[in-house]
Amino acid sequence: MEQFVRILIDIGEQGLIFSILALGLLISYRILNTPDLTVDGSFPLGAAVSAALLTRGANPWLALGASLLAGALAGLTTGLLNVKLRITALLSGIIVMTMLYSLNLGIAGTANVGLFNSRNLFNEAPAAWIPARLGSYRIRTMIVAALIVLVVKLLLDLYLATRSGLLLRATGDNQQVTVSLGRDPGLVTILGLTLANSLVSLAGGLLAQQQGFFEISMGTGQMVNGLASVIIGTALFGRIRRLRLTTVAIFGSLIFKALLTIAINLGLSANYMRLMQGLLFLIILVSSNLSDKEARHATASSR
Amino acid sequence: MLQLHHVDKVYFGGTVNENSLFRGFDLQVEKGSFVSIVGSNGSGKTSLLNLICGTLAPDAGRITLEGEDITRWPEYRRARRISRVFQDPALGSCQNLTVFENLSLAARRTQSYNLRRGVIERDRARFSELLASLDMGLEQRLDQVAGTLSGGQRQALALLMTTMNTPDLLILDEHTAALDPKSSQRIMALTDEIIKRHQLTTLMVTHNLRFALEYGDRLLMMHEGQLLRDDRGSQKEALVLDDLLEQFNQISIEYGN
């Protein structure tokens, strides 16, 4: 029972933080239809920026905001490479990701930065405002993470319902429509990638604050991570029309994290984590492709 | 008024495959006129539309709309004043957005895509009415995604989206060619109705000679980047299908089309 609760908290804590990453990929992959590999660099970028600021005693909220801005710059760069220099989205992402590796090292100072003695969102306000009787430190961490995710999700929902958000969705769906509306689809793509990587970087910053350290390789596999979350969410809940896309992505992230946590608790060595992530992603991708095909078959034959 | 002054367009310039399509091409389309363009494959009619819309850039010459030089404007900028309906009904709207969302987007074309609400319930009645005027049963599908519509319905939606802000120029790019005969008739009649209601300046490329004769007040026949015929007003009304068909067959046979 105790172990069960521990697993649940594991899933809750980090699954929630990773769901912000999933929201980023929701924008680039699902809405904008662009495979954006910047993610593997912009996620640790957020962590590096938060780490660098926290070790100098900065306000944790300020650090988080700086993480978000840094991610926006990374996304903006990928977008500019893609749109203005006409490099494919995939390559633009890889280029920026590669350059970010050095940049992240430079920002953080070293490949490993411990933040255990620094102020962060989980050891002072707002976590400290939550009465201790509500639960242990980890429960409070989960509550803080949940609140931040909720705010990000609601803001994103609001944005997607604006004219600008609608144009973003249109651009991912059919660029010709954007052109017909008299708008430059390239600019919309740049905006989308900027927004997506801001969220990814925010997630990275938040994770560094929660786990108490920055580590240079923490970005490896994060794109797969986020994509898998979005695709699981879409496969399981995508047909429920009342659920918003953002809700679907968050659920997907929690389920993906649950699968990984269960695998580890069944005795899988942490060394095989990435292998596991990749295989899980593969299974999800193939099965959602199959169910897509079935769905198309069903609608085609019902006509 | 749309004007093309001495427009040149060469494909594969500087190679052995050099193919000059337009040489000093001139065209003037008066405000409020409805011009049909016919011609065989490779006659340059689609290239002409692409030059006007900005999908293709001319090698020389000028294109002006209402006196303003738009030769160097990118396609999206011209689209604020020139609307285009494509042959493929899927190009005119977003398949994953609802009909309501698609129309909301189109309605804001002349405004800005800012942080105000994208879809306003208040528009529902107005959009419903507009859709009902198409008489294609679309008013009951406001909340369905456009991907679920039939080809004819989707083309009607595209037509509505492109004309709801009264463009300076409407371009119809074989817009009934991908539809079944009945939908094709329906969309053509609808197009004519909308053009008359808003007095839109229109260029229509079509493979359907009957449509070209029946609709519009001017008819161009193109061949190898040149105007073979240019009939207006009573001259156009006097045209009969057989003459047109004969001439059309002649050029087609000559050039193995």
CB pairs A-B closer than 8 Å: 84
pLDDT in tens, B105-162: 999 999 999 999 999 999 999 999 999 999 999 999 999 999 999 999 999 999 999 9
- DSSP per-residue string spanning A252-301: HHHHHHHHHHHHHHTT--GGGHHHHHHHHHHHHHHHHHHHHHHHHHHHHH
A-contacting residues in B 160-189 (Cβ below 8 Å): 161-162
- Domain span at residue A19 reads 2-219
**Confidence grade of residue B247 (pLDDT, cut at 50, 70, 90):** confident
Residue A286 lies in a domain: no
Q: How many C-beta atoms lie closer than 10 Å to residue A69's C-beta?
A: 15
pTM: 0.92
d(CA A211, CA A132): 20
Per-residue pLDDT at B19 exceeds 70? yes
Residue A111 lies in a domain: yes
Residue-wise over A25-36: b if at least 16 C-beta within 10 A, else e? bbbbbbbbebeb
Domain architecture of chain B: domains with CATH: 2-94+151-254 (3.40.50.300)
Residue A287 lies in a domain: no
Instruction: Say how many Å lie between the first and final Cα of chain A, rounded.
Output: 52
What is the dihedral sign for C-alpha B251, B253, B255, B256?
A: positive
The arithmetic mean of pLDDT across residues A72-85, rounded, is 98
Do the beta carbons of residue B205 and residue B37 sit within 8 Å? yes
d(CA A53, CA B121): 46
What is the dihedral sign for C-alpha A153, A155, A156, A161?
A: positive
Residue in chain A closest to B80 (alpha carbons) equals A182
Count of structural domains within chain A: 1
Retrieve residue A176's tokens. Answer: 């010709």
Residue A133 lies in a domain: yes
Retrieve residue B228's tokens. Answer: 């073979």
Q: A18 to chain B nearest CA, in Å?
A: 27
Residue A233 lies in a domain: no
pLDDT in tens, A246-270: 999 999 999 999 988 888 888 888 8
Q: Is A182 in Cβ contact with B80 (below 8 Å)?
A: yes
DSSP state of B81: T
Residue in chain B closest to A299 (alpha carbons) equals B148
The kind and range of the H/E element at A213 are strand A213-215
ipTM of the complex: 0.93
pLDDT in tens, A10-66: 888 889 999 999 999 999 999 999 989 999 999 999 999 999 999 999 999 999 999
What pLDDT is recorded for position A296?
Answer: 52
Do the beta carbons of residue A275 and residue A260 sit within 8 Å? no
What is the dihedral sign for C-alpha A118, A123, A124, A125?
A: positive
pLDDT in tens, B208-222: 999 999 999 999 999
Q: A154 to chain B nearest CA, in Å?
A: 15
Do the beta carbons of residue B143 and residue A241 sit within 8 Å? no
Q: How many C-beta atoms lie closer than 10 Å to residue B241's C-beta?
A: 13
The arithmetic mean of pLDDT across residues B175-204, rounded, is 95
Q: Where are the alpha helices (DSSP H) in A181-272?
A: 185-211, 222-237, 245-265
Residue A251 lies in a domain: no
Residue A177 lies in a domain: yes
Looking at residue A189, its amino acid is T
The answer to whether residue B15 neighbours chain A at the CB level (below 8 Å) is no
Which of A30, A177, A239 to mutate: most B Cβ within 10 Å? A177
Residue A141 lies in a domain: yes
Q: Is B104 in Cβ contact with A180 (below 8 Å)?
A: no
* Chain A residues in contact with B106 (beta carbon < 8 A): 181
